Amino acid sequence: MPKKCINKKLGEILVEQGLITQGQLEIALGLQEQKGGLIGELLVELKFVSEEDIAKTLTAQYGFAYLPLSNYEIDQELIKFIPERVASQYRLIPVDKIGNNLTVAMSNPLNSQAIEDLETLLGCEVQVFVSTNSDILQAIEKYYKISNK
């Protein structure tokens, strides 16, 4: 669970930080109403902010640590802990395991259902880092491709 939680929505914080305008937020909210989805992903899709902006804002807002995966080497043994379909569904990748604690990087660390499912599936405590959607998808493709050989 996050260490700190501020009762502000991601979009509001992005406006306060000057990363997007109120008008851009309203466009994204309208799109969300039409087609659903996460506001952060929609803002990136609309090219109003970068994935890194979203990840770093999530870290500041909720107290998660940001972990860029591009230069991070993941131990192939860790990949075996989480089935590929689970990693893909929840957009997460395991990055470390110490004792009964598994650390994962996720693009949406607020998905408490994913964390609960993992803890039930694996019987361990899950710690969460934030990473970008692209980093997670690239890591899943890279590491699960290797492990499926």
CA distances from 55 to 26, 30, 38, 135 (A): 20, 22, 13, 11
Sheet holding 65-66, edge to edge: 65-66, 125-130, 101-106, 92-98
| CA 24 vs CA 8, 48, 51: distances in Å | 17, 7, 16
CATH of domain 76-147: 3.30.300.160
For residue 147, what pLDDT is reported?
60
Please tell me the distance from the alpha carbon of residue 62 to that of residue 111, in angstroms, as a whole number.
12
pLDDT for the residue numbered 2? 42
Are 40 and 133 contacting, i.e. CB atoms less than 8 angstroms apart? no
DSSP notation for 14-64: HHHTTSS-HHHHHHHHHHHHHH---HHHHHHHTTSS-HHHHHHHHHHHH-P
Model's pTM, two decimal places?
Answer: 0.79
List the pLDDT tens digit at each of the 149 positions of the chain: 444 444 678 898 899 989 999 999 999 999 999 998 888 889 999 999 999 999 888 888 788 888 889 888 998 888 988 999 999 999 999 999 999 999 999 988 888 899 999 999 889 999 999 999 999 999 999 998 876 65
